Every structure is written in structure tokens, then in C-alpha cells.
């Protein structure tokens, strides 16, 4: 999902991935993240993307990609078939984020989700002081033309993971590429990244 000039640093995600693992990147865009993972981590990866033009770019990079709609879930993918399932900057654009999260931790041994934190100070301030939906460098869209339909705050997401019984293994919270301690992240992080426990080690699967 293209959210404008700023995007969550790929390096942060790459740092979470073990070398030579298998990676499924949901909403992989032009395949740049997978490409970097192949080069730096020697992973075996594939992407899912809905836009034809992006698919052409993926293939041009030598990345295998499936044209599919994430709102249809991951029923084609066997349980535990990937080491990592990544959802990079796409959670907020899904019609059924809960369904997809469940699917991600089913298919992946780990899941990585990152999203813009709606609870960030400036967003709150814009809503509180101006009485308008936040529009800024991190959330560049007007409310009427945004692809982002399911915003949440970091705290909302933590709550959701606990309600879904998905263990959070690690979080990375950034304010414009700088780390923010978890304690203050809901207020000061612009971007949050969660490493979630997938199928192995979960009791009910």
C-alpha cells in the first residue's frame, strides 16, 4: 500500500527475519521488500498483490507473485506453510482485518504486521484542536479518498491480539525512523511493527 513518501523502514522488518526462511508478503506492492529479503537474507519468498501493474514490477524483479484479494483470506495456503507472513502497511486498508490476522497466524510460524499508529500525538491534536480528521506526512490522505478504512491505535492493536489470543513476541515502535520505548509508543510512535507468534507454540492449533 503506497501511503506517500514515508514508509516503514524495510530494514526494521528485515531485522526480524531469520536467514534462509520462507516468507509470504501480503500486499507486496512492487516486491521491493521481498527483493531485499532475498538479497540480504537469502529467503525463499512470494508475494500476493491485487494490482496488475505492481505484479509486472514484481516479475521484473524475479519475484513470484499471486494476483489475489486479501479480503478473500488465505484459504489456498496450508497451515504452517511459511516461516513468516508479512502484512506491511496494509492492515488499515482491509475490509476484514481480524479474519486476515487469524489467517496469518495460521499460515505462518510467525507473523509480522506493521501499521500507522492513529494514536500518535499529532493525529490526536489535529482531531482535538482542529476538529478535523488528521492529514499529515504520516497520514497523507483526505478522509474521502483514503484507501485506509480501518485505522487503529497501537493500544487497540495490542488489545485485539490479546482478544484473539495471539502472543506478541516483539514490537518495534518508530517515530519517523527513530525508536520509541514501548511505554510511550501509543502517544509518540508514528509507525508500529508487531512480531506475532504463529502456528507453532500456540496451544489450540
Where does this chain bind another protein (CB under 8 A)?
A: 46, 52, 55-56, 58-60, 62, 64-68, 76-78, 81
CB of 77 to another protein, least distance (A): 7
Q: Which is nearer to another protein, 67 or 162 (CB)?
A: 67
Q: Residue 129: count other Cβ atoms within 10 Å of its Cβ.
A: 8
Strand partners, 173: 192
CA nearest 115: which of 70, 164, 154? 154
Q: Which is nearer to another protein, 55 or 161 (CB)?
A: 55
Cα distances (angstroms) measured from residue 161 to each of 98, 105, 149, 164, 198: 9, 11, 19, 5, 12
Q: Which CB, 62 or 201, lies closer to another protein? A: 62
For residue 67, the minimal CB distance to another protein (Å) is 4
Minimum gap (Å) between residue 96 Cβ and another protein? 20
**CA nearest to 116, candidates 7, 190, 178:** 190
φ/ψ bin of 31: left (φ > 0), alpha (ψ from -120 to 50), beta (otherwise): left
Closest distance between another protein and the C-beta of residue 68, in Å? 8
Spatial separation of the C-alpha atoms in residues 128 and 14, rounded to whole Å: 36
Give the chain's radius of gyration (CA, Å): 16
Q: Which residue, 65 or 185, has its beta carbon nearer to another protein?
A: 65
Tell me if 194 sits within 8 A of 112, measured CB to CB.
yes
CB of 56 to another protein, least distance (A): 5
DSSP state of 42: -
Shortest distance (Å) from residue 49 CB to another protein: 9
Query: Which helix (H) or strand (E) is 64 found in, with range?
Result: strand 64-67
> Is 38 or 133 the residue whose CB approaches another protein more closely?
38
Amino acid at each position: 500500500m503506497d501511503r506517500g513518501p514515508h514508509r516503514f523502514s524495510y530494514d526494521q522488518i528485515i531485522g526480524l527475519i531469520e536467514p534462509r526462511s520462507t516468507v509470504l508478503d501480503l500486499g507486496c506492492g512492487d516486491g521491493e521488500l521481498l527483493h531485499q529479503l532475498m538479497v540480504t537474507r537469502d529467503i525463499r519468498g512470494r508475494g500476493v498483490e491485487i494490482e496488475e501493474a505492481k505484479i509486472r514490477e514484481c516479475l521484473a524483479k524475479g519475484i513470484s507473485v499471486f494476483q489475489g484479494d486479501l479480503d478473500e483470506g488465505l484459504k489456498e495456503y496450508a497451515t504452517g506453510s511459511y516461516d513468516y507472513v508479512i502484512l506491511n502497511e496494509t492492515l488499515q486498508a482491509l475490509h476484514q482485518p481480524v479474519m486476515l490476522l487469524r489467517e496469518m497466524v495460521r499460515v505462518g510460524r510467525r507473523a509480522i504486521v506493521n501499521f500507522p499508529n492513529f494514536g500518535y500525538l499529532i493525529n490526536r491534536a489535529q482531531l482535538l484542536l482542529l476538529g478535523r480528521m488528521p492529514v499529515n506526512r504520516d497520514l497523507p490522505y483526505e478522509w474521502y479518498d483514503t484507501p485506509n478504512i480501518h485505522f487503529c491505535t497501537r493500544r487497540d492493536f495490542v488489545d485485539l491480539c490479546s482478544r484473539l489470543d495471539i502472543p506478541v513476541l516483539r514490537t518495534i515502535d518508530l517515530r519517523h525512523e527513530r525508536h520509541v520505548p514501548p511505554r510511550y509508543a501509543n502517544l509518540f510512535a508514528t509507525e508500529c511493527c508487531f512480531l506475532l507468534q504463529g502456528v507453532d507454540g500456540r496451544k489450540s492449533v
